Structure 1
């Protein structure tokens, strides 16, 4: 496999750092977080960001596309599992681990680009395939929908304990907090197994998550 040019490899490293920094900054400050804050968290210069992205919105749009790439990869790897349940569990735990919903605060604040829309559609198709396969195998509760699973991931992606200890600089408790979080995720995921009691209320509408991203250009 050919090696990537040093400049391209550096850009990829910066993108990954910016994505992680943006997730953390958005969790604290919401969509009003500044490019300077994100740059400082990522350890890159503000000037270097604006050399690649003309505006903050353009930066956020690119980061959303990168985040969707992570969701797509997690779903593809889940489908690679021979066992439908293990494949679904991989998807949920992997997307929870990189906090897939952390860019949620941007919903409705930026325009959805063609690249974002294409990747979102691809991600949805793969998730529906994972869910359909698990339902067909009888391992996933019959009333669980793709939207239910996406919302579960969004909730599990938040970890007040981990975030608080990180903010306090308590590295001595990082491993214990991560272990506690993993246990909580496992407990929640187990609730997706077939044979559980019925879920309350009506199944959420398929377009519920996408509706959040409707953007008013004049707003």
Structure 2
């Protein structure tokens, strides 16, 4: 890319990263807060995204595409069906697409493309669920809606910095998967449990 195009691509990435951080913290935040966090001028942001609605649509569209990519990759696995399903769950947790669902659902008007991608994501989730149940390694009374809500619960964990958040999310994901698997498993949980100090620190602003 030319220097100008490369700079535009960098600005776009900065804007999207900032928008995700700003709007998952506060869906009601103004678009100016995104420009400030991204370190770009408001005019540069508006040239790329003419409204907050357009920016939210882009964020959720990218999240859906990432969800589809993770699920398709898991479905392409030809080995152990449980390991493919576990890889799918870990991939979704790492992608953190559920944070967007928790914070942004109902805050903007979905586009036709978002609708199509949502249908594709739903069909893939149903397929990996069906395959894993039929392999006899996943509780048959578990539904895709159950899994979606369990993943949202894990995405709500926000204790400490990004590394600690990821560590805790995978700890509780492992605990959750052991409860869903047939026969039930009991593996060593990754990372230490949250401490009382970590939990209580969420109530202090530092001021």
TM-score normalised by the chain length of structure 2: 0.77
Q: Does 1:182 align with 2:180?
A: no
Residue 107 (structure 1) aligns with: 105
Residue 117 (structure 1) aligns with: 115
What secondary structure, in the 3-state scheme, does the structure 2 residue paired with 1:24 have?
A: helix
Alignment of 1:17-96 (within 5 A): 17-29=14-26, 31-82=27-78, 83-96=80-93
- Residues in 2 aligned to 1:78 and 1:117: alpha-carbon distance in whole angstroms: 22
Superposed CA RMSD in Å reads: 2.4
Q: Could you report, residue by residue, the CA deviation over 1:48-77 in whole angstroms, capped at 9, with x for unpaired residues? A: 221022211011111111110010001011
- Residues in 2 aligned to 1:14 and 1:181: alpha-carbon distance in whole angstroms: 30
- Residues in 1 aligned to 2:148 and 2:100: alpha-carbon distance in whole angstroms: 13
State the 1:20 CA deviation.
3.6
Alignment of 1:168-179 (within 5 A): 175=163, 178-179=166-167
- Residues in 2 aligned to 1:59 and 1:175: alpha-carbon distance in whole angstroms: 27
Question: Larger deviation: 6-15 or 78-87?
Answer: 6-15
- Residues in 2 aligned to 1:191 and 1:7: alpha-carbon distance in whole angstroms: 52
- Residues in 2 aligned to 1:189 and 1:12: alpha-carbon distance in whole angstroms: 39
Q: Does 1:191 align with 2:189?
A: no
The number of equivalent residue pairs is 182
State the 1:23 CA deviation.
3.0
Q: Could you report, residue by residue, the CA deviation over 1:153-191 in whole angstroms, capped at 9, with x for unpaired residues? A: 111112221xxx33xxxxxxx645543432222112222
- Residues in 2 aligned to 1:89 and 1:8: alpha-carbon distance in whole angstroms: 39
Question: RCO higher in 1 or 2 (8 Å CA, sep ≥ 6)?
Answer: 1
The 1:154/1:17 distance shift into structure 2, 3 A limit, reads: farther
State the 1:12 CA deviation.
5.4
- Residues in 2 aligned to 1:118 and 1:95: alpha-carbon distance in whole angstroms: 19
